[in-house]
Structures are given as structure tokens and as C-alpha cells.
Amino acid sequence: MADKAVPFFNPSDLLSLGGDWIVQEHNIADANQRAQGLKANGDEAASKLYDGKTAGSISFECHAETGSLTLPNVGAVMGGYHIDSLALAYNPAGWPKLTLNVHKHDDNSHAADSMNEFAPSPTFPAQFGIPRGLTIGAGALSITDTACGIKSMTYNLGCTHVDELDEAGDHLAGENRDGAETLAVEYSKTPAVIANTGAGWSQMSGGTAESNTAAETASYSWEAHVARET
């Protein structure tokens, strides 16, 4: 007798990233917009649902401990779903976790290779724990102070996505612009040197926090805008 797949332990991999990425969870739900017509007294006279879509998030883990992570482009269409944004999170007691926010229209959904796409500029290592160095474009963000621990590292890439409707209120077309990426790092103790030589990256925040009930911590964040893929 063949083994029966148990859905709870085998969630659907809607995007089929492949490689060492293994889907952990997905939260997908239907969504509609609602048009309203009013009476002369302001009460509702009629309503209609339009621009139906399926949207949500899918999370993966990469359990490889060597090599580099392969991340999809924001704006790409995989399995019929448009990738609206991605978040990559490292933690000291686990593997990298990739979360994709996606959507798909019921009518005339996005086709593959149909819109502007934005690729992550850093190169992220596959490993257990948190990396101390990242290659970012022509430069690098390196944490060389070994007396300083890293509590968390989170990378986000997104863009502005615009959808256009046809005369009947159904989805007609979409396009993307203004790709933007952010990197946030939280440290145990304050590192002696923060090196950020990646071209186009700006430090958006940075500071320390002290408490009589916890170790000193420091948090920094950077932002860069990404040119579309050609």
C-alpha cells in the first residue's frame, strides 16, 4: 500500500523554488474589491464584487550549509503568482528563512516575463546561523569584531506594483517600478566598526540600547534602490 501524503506535513509548494529550499508554510486566501452604489438618502442600493485575486505569503527554509542562496526576482511570475516582495531572515539557531508575498488575479493574471523585475544586490551565503560578512555590489558589509554577537539579520526587497482594470472592472495589466531593498542587523554588544562600502547603500538608522536586565544591544539598518533588470 502506497504511503498517504498528510497535507499538514506536506504543504503545497506553489512556486517550486527547487534546490535546497523546502516550503515550510503558505497562507493563501481569496480577495475581492467591492463597488457600492447609493440611494439618494445615502443607503446602499447596489453592490458588485470585482477584480478577484488570490494573495498571501509562502515561506521556505534552505538547509544547505555551504554555497550561496538563490533568490527569485521581485516582479517575477512563478506558478502563476506575481512576487510582490521577499524577506530573508537569518537567526543564530536555525537556517535562512525566505518569505515571499505573492498574488494572482482571477481574470487575465500576470504572465511570466511580462513586467519589470528587480534582483537582490547582496550575495547571501547558505549556512546555519548568521553570516558576519555579505558581498553587496562592489563592496561589503562586514562585522569583524568577534567580541560582538549578531542577534538577527533581515533583508527585504520590494517594489511599487500597479494594476490596471479594464472597462468591466477585471484585471487588464500590471507593471512595477522603484525597486528598494533594506538590510537590518541587531547585535549583542556594540561592534567597534561597522563597514558599509556597498555603492548606493545609505545608513538609515543606528544606535545602542542598555538595560540593567539584559546585555547591551545595537541595531542598524541600510537602504538602497535597485535598477530594474534589462
Nearest to residue 154, comparing CAs of 180, 125, 132, 183?
A: 183
Per the CB < 8 A criterion, the answer to whether 174 and 115 are in contact is yes
**Helix ranges restricted to H, 20-95:** none
Report whether pLDDT(140) > 70: no
Whole-structure pTM value? 0.88
Q: What is the mean pLDDT of residues 112-116?
A: 91
State the average pLDDT over residues 191-216: 77
Contact 30, 64 (CB under 8 A): no
The answer to whether 182 and 155 are in contact (CB under 8 A) is yes
pLDDT digits (tens, 9 = 90+) for 11-39: 777 887 877 899 999 899 999 999 999 99
Q: What is the pLDDT of residue 97?
A: 97
Q: Which three cell numbers stand for residue 123?
A: 550575495
In this predicted structure, what is the pLDDT of residue 1?
Answer: 43
Q: Are 226 and 181 in contact (CB under 8 A)?
A: yes
Any idea what DSSP says for residue 174?
A: E
Mean pLDDT over the full length of the chain = 87
Provide the pLDDT for residue 198: 65
Residue 215 in this model has a pLDDT that exceeds 70: yes
Find out whether 215 and 189 touch, Cβ atoms under 8 Å: yes
